[in-house]
Amino acid sequence: MNFWDFSRGPASVRLLLDFASTAGLEPARLLTGSRLTMAQLHDPHCPVAPGQELVVIENLLRLSRQTAGLGLQVGLQYQLSAYGILGYGLLCSATGADALALAEQYLPLTYAFSKITHKLEGDCDCLYFEPPTGLEPAVQRFVVERAMGAACRLLHDVIGNDFQLNAFGLRYPDRHAPINPILGATLTCGAKANVLSFRHEWLEKALPQANPITVAMCRQMCGELIEQRRSQQGTTALVRQYLDYQASSPPPSLSKVARLLNTSERTLKRWLQQEGSSFSAVQTSSRQAKAERLLADERLSLTVVADLLGFSDLSTFSQAYKRWTGQAPSHARKRMVTAAAGPRSQNHDPD
């Protein structure tokens, strides 16, 4: 599964905003640069592009004091209701094994960004979580942790309150945010793999709300929803999404983006030309949008912003920004700060 190929529902972003609000973060700050509004997120049929959710995640990480373990905390809040019709199908499955197979079949409906592999090893089932390539390390860690936390919550909600893990391993060596045992398993950092392990007998357990007719209905509806959410965006939009949410220094190359889309550089250029665009134009637009997001964060110096955007020095960045907007980045930041402070600050501006 390539998560770039599917849009998603708004429930996951709503959960991110709800979590952030408990830390005193305003929704508007998390939505900065995502091109999402609260009105859209209140519409259950509103499609959310994967890149839009990644911007919200990036903002959450940037605004949070502590990021290690943050994904786990968020993922553990993904109740079955967050998955809509898929969650209902999981609840009505005959056994835990059937529920897990259903979740694997319709993984694009689970908001996961990481690759999830299920293996039977001896008398234990193991779920392995691999970080998606190309994203910034902090975002990679967050989405892996979130997927593992969400999987724990799903297994607990489907199989029952007595479900227990044998092991919970995270490949990341540091553990700045202490986390209590999860479903009976102590979190092990610096493990060989990102893995959840539990005895196979849990999956053989009959589920109390099993209903084959309901599951068949849910399976059909999930299949239809998958097709609806399969990306119908043009090549320009897909390339823009990819460029927006990759590590910025150095910027992703044409060849790297072509590999992501499983095509050649020549074909990708032709597709973009057919839509009246080019790789350099999309790259410039993406860089400018990210510059706006970074300039809005007063904690980042202009030199750091230039470096994050992949420029060799502040002077080169300033010249590029002036070409894009007609003003210096320092003036743009002052304008953003003044606008964020509100009318009172504007009335007392010493300038």
Residue type, 7: S
> What is the distance between the alpha carbons of residues 42 and 48, in angstroms, rounded to a whole number?
12
| Strand intervals (E) in 143-191 | 167-170, 187-189
Query: What's the Cα-to-Cα distance from 135 to each of 101, 114, 247, 292, 320, rounded to whole Å?
Result: 28, 11, 6, 19, 24
**Residue 290 to residues 188, 293, 295, 314: CA-CA distances in angstroms?**
35, 5, 9, 16
- Domains belonging to the chain, first-starting first, are 68-229 (no CATH), 235-340 (1.10.10.60)
Q: How many CB atoms lie within 10 A of CB 126?
A: 18
CA angle at 336 for the pair 52 and 65, rounded to the nearest 5° = 60
Q: What is the pLDDT along the chain (351 residues), one digit of tens a residue?
A: 577 778 889 999 999 999 999 888 888 889 987 878 898 999 988 888 888 899 899 999 989 877 888 999 999 999 999 999 999 999 999 999 999 999 999 999 999 999 999 999 999 999 999 998 878 889 999 999 999 999 999 999 999 999 999 999 999 887 665 567 899 998 888 899 999 999 999 999 999 999 999 999 999 999 999 888 876 567 787 788 778 766 555 677 888 888 766 678 888 898 898 888 899 999 888 888 888 888 888 888 999 998 888 888 999 999 999 999 899 999 989 888 777 666 544 444 443
C-alpha 190 chain-centroid distance:
23
First vs last C-alpha separation in the chain:
54
CA–chain centroid gap for 325, Å, is 29
- pLDDT on residue 350: 42
Cis, peptide link before residue 212, omega less than 30° from 0:
no
What Å distances lie between residue 258 and 27, 36, 216, 253, 264, CA to CA?
34, 27, 38, 9, 6
Nearest to 222 by CA among 118, 93, 39: 93
Which of the 8 DSSP states describes residue 251? P
What is the rounded CA–CA span in Å between residue 12 and residue 24?
Answer: 19
